[in-house]
Amino acid sequence: MKKVCISKDWTFSCPEIQGKQIIDIPHDYVIGLKRDAASPGGPSIGFFTGTRGSYTKYMKFGDEKHIILDIDGAYMCARIYLNDNLLDMHPYGYTPYLVDLSDKAWRGMSNKLSIDVSHLQPSSRWYSGSGVYRDVYLWTGGSVRIEPWDMFVTTKELRGDSAAINANITVSADFDCDVALTVKALDADGICVAEKSVDLGAKAGKNGCNVCLDIKNPKLWSCDTPYLYTLCTEVWANGQIEDTAEVTFGIRTISFDAKNGFLLNGEPTKLRGGCIHHDHGVLGSAEFPAAIHRKISLLKSVGYNAVRIAHNPPSLTLLEVCDRHGMLVMDEAFDMWNIPKSNLDYSLWFRDWWQRDISYMVLRDRNHPCVISYSIGNEIPERDGSSDGAEWSEKLANAIREYDSTRPVTSGVCGIWFGIDKDAPVDYKVARMGGFDDVGSGTVESSWGKRTEAYMKPLDIVGYNYLFERYANDAGEYPDRVIWGSETHAINFYDSWKAVLENPNVIGDFTWTAYDNLGEVGTGRYEWAEEGFVDTISFGNFPWRSCYQGDFDLCGYRRPQSYFREAIWKSDTEPHIFTTHPRHNGDDFSGTGWHWYDVADTWTFGDEYIGKPVKTDVYTTADEVIFILNDTEVGRAVPEKGIATAFIPYEKGELTAIAVNGGKQDKSFTLKTAGEAYKIRVVSEKPQIAADNRDLCYFDISIEDENGNRIADAENEIKCEIYGGELLGICSGNPKNDDRYGSAVCHTYEGRAIAIARSSKEGDLKIRITAEGLKGGVGNIVKVIK
């Protein structure tokens, strides 16, 4: 069937927005609404509000016999109408789904297509956004056709200088006919490298076959060389071509076991992973390809080779980007099953819909070489065996294998929550806890292993959330168990990664999180004694908007823990310097466990701190670090768990850290004392974009002194003017201010902000940023081309 994107030119309306708008999908209509401290979703969704939304488009269809609507994601409870006929309702906001329009479509005249969504609150533990936030496609075909998701390509075997490829192809026919297939494998240049013809002899209905192709001297897909092929299938019926279908694929093998770990194309590979949510800061949940490309590119550039999609199936766009970038993906289905985590979440529909949603996820995603595992759920309350959890685990795992048996099944499992009333009778407590004295958060002595054993039995890989201390013990207790750290704290990363390297049964680590996300507000915060203590997970109060746990902030700027992680993963990084403000000397410090230290990349403090000691950290695996202040050596430090620390009396000027390896000075890094804020610097991240209203240009904005040094604590109010395009958003990485997304005004944070623009017309695109008392900045001209 022919696939066409129909994301442009929809009419949108909702109660909170006056009048109707002409918009392009992807679209999140909640991100620009005013936040409310009394929002029913509260801190879980960042105090954003929820409401209904309606999308309408008029379309003409030709004489196609079959018309299928393909919605990659709409949040939530989407109702699909054609010519005011309700055709379907889809409750889950994250799975793709197909709707057959054939019977209700009017040929040769205008048809009214509508998608209505209702954002129930509270329905999520994080910011979900609202609307048709992923692309929409239309598939059209004739009486004999290959329908969406009906081709499945796998690498059957690598043998010497060839690869055996298996293509499982299903042909749909409206009547009995003689069907033949011509199947071709094309390389990245479109050259046919293998071909085979088969006779199918189709009857009315669906007809499946397996076609094996041998590809000589294959180029393997890997993290470093993500080479993609295309499988092209021609469908012949009664001697004429009736349909053509294509799908991209990669030639690669994966295997895993407790002895050899994870092998990609036979090569041992440890997964340097991070968990990511689906939002994009000021863009909300709108899944622009350019936003995904930027996010994955940034993660890849600092050492990540894997992402876990938390906690829902990703977009098709993300999988396509990860295919091209060589980023491995843990593809996750659900955050809950029958037991809710929010009052109006997917648990209301799970029992009736889980099998359909599993099929939608796997059938769409199984051709993507980046996908190496499917997760049936994250921190499922039934993981301790209650509410038939073990039986459900087996049902979901088997359902995935029904559609794709080539990839392992996993689940993220954390410690057990009981929440038993302290006044409950003793015999009830003993029965509920299984007679164990310790039901704690997963220590070696706890009952966690026994209580989760049946739940884990159907899994191929067991995800340990915040339980890295158990790796060595469980390797002995469960010798065949393959483990990955499906969530780990950044603050414990040195120890958790060391445990990954020391245990062959542990194949990798996924930090929580790789990228800051909206919602779950303030769960990564820290506080000093003067502000009170934080010693457990809890939400921040309004105006907090993000969780503040990511290696990258909401703008995509690196936070200190990103440099720490890169230093541990690699051995040749620059010895980046981070300081603790001297006003905190001697103070006690605390955090939620998902926090990082209160440090900044600055050597700029008030005159009152001259001569006072400044705690100075360098993230490095070097043998030693030498500290040079204004050409004078002021200290040396040997790293402990990746951090070399010195207390250096403050003096304005230049502080340099020099890494020493094998007795020789190696790479260095310098911080300079900044002067007064003087100007705004604006730089576009790319020189040109497409004039399609989809491609995006990101402008980096910084507050600088006269010499170009960033003012690391600047929080100036800035305003944006745009010429030749549309401003989609301007924001900073501040996790707790009340700047309104969708406006042209924001406050910088740590001296930085970002603006995002697009255009639908050829020409020049540029922006101008101004702030009171500062020299304004004009971004370099970006070419907008067809």
- pLDDT digits 0-9 by tens, 44-84: 999 999 889 999 999 999 999 999 999 999 999 999 999 99
pLDDT band at 499 (very low <50, low <70, confident <90, very high): very high
- In one-letter notation, the amino acid at residue 454 is A
- For the segment 400-418, the average pLDDT, to the nearest whole number, is 94
> Do residues 131 and 158 share a domain?
no
> Do residues 351 and 449 share a domain?
yes
> Do residues 232 and 290 share a domain?
no
State residue 313's pLDDT score. Answer: 98
| Length of the chain (residues) | 786
- For the segment 390-402, the average pLDDT, to the nearest whole number, is 98
Mean pLDDT of the chain: 95
Residue 468 CA: distances (Å) to CA of 64, 441, 489, 494, 508:
56, 11, 10, 11, 11
Does 528 fall in a domain? no
Containing structural domain, residue 640? 574-671
- For the segment 600-625, the average pLDDT, to the nearest whole number, is 97
Is pLDDT above 80 for 94? yes
Residue 407 CA: distances (Å) to CA of 119, 180, 191, 333, 367:
33, 30, 29, 14, 11
Q: Which of 220, 249, 278 is the last residue of a domain?
A: 249
- For the segment 257-276, the average pLDDT, to the nearest whole number, is 97
> Do residues 630 and 491 share a domain?
no
Is pLDDT above 90 for 388? yes
State residue 429's pLDDT score. Answer: 67
- For the segment 705-717, the average pLDDT, to the nearest whole number, is 98
Report the predicted TM-score, pTM, of the whole model to 2 decimal places.
0.96
State residue 202's pLDDT score. Answer: 79
Which residues make Cβ contacts (< 8 Å) with residue 779, sequence separation at least 6?
Answer: 682, 683, 684, 699, 755, 766, 767, 768, 769
Is pLDDT above 50 for 97? yes
CATH at residue 292: 3.20.20.80
State residue 426's pLDDT score. Answer: 78
Reduce the secondary structure of 667-714 to three states and give it as a string: EEEEEECCCCCCEEEEEECCCEEECCCCCCEEEEEEEECCCCCECCCC
- pLDDT digits 0-9 by tens, 562-580: 999 999 999 889 999 999 9
Is pLDDT above 90 for 529? no
Low-confidence winner among 447-456, 497-506, 508-517, 756-765 (lowest mean pLDDT):
447-456
- For the segment 220-243, the average pLDDT, to the nearest whole number, is 96
State residue 444's pLDDT score. Answer: 46
How far apart are alpha carbons 604 and 579 in whole angstroms?
10
State residue 443's pLDDT score. Answer: 47
> Do residues 225 and 287 share a domain?
no
> Do residues 173 and 305 share a domain?
no
Does 540 fall in a domain? no
- pLDDT digits 0-9 by tens, 298-349: 999 999 999 999 999 999 999 999 999 999 999 999 999 999 999 999 999 9
> Do residues 390 and 312 share a domain?
yes
State residue 538's pLDDT score. Answer: 83
State residue 3's pLDDT score. Answer: 98
- pLDDT digits 0-9 by tens, 115-150: 999 999 999 999 999 999 999 999 999 999 999 999
- pLDDT digits 0-9 by tens, 640-663: 999 999 999 999 999 999 999 999
CATH at residue 760: 2.60.40.10
State residue 421's pLDDT score. Answer: 76
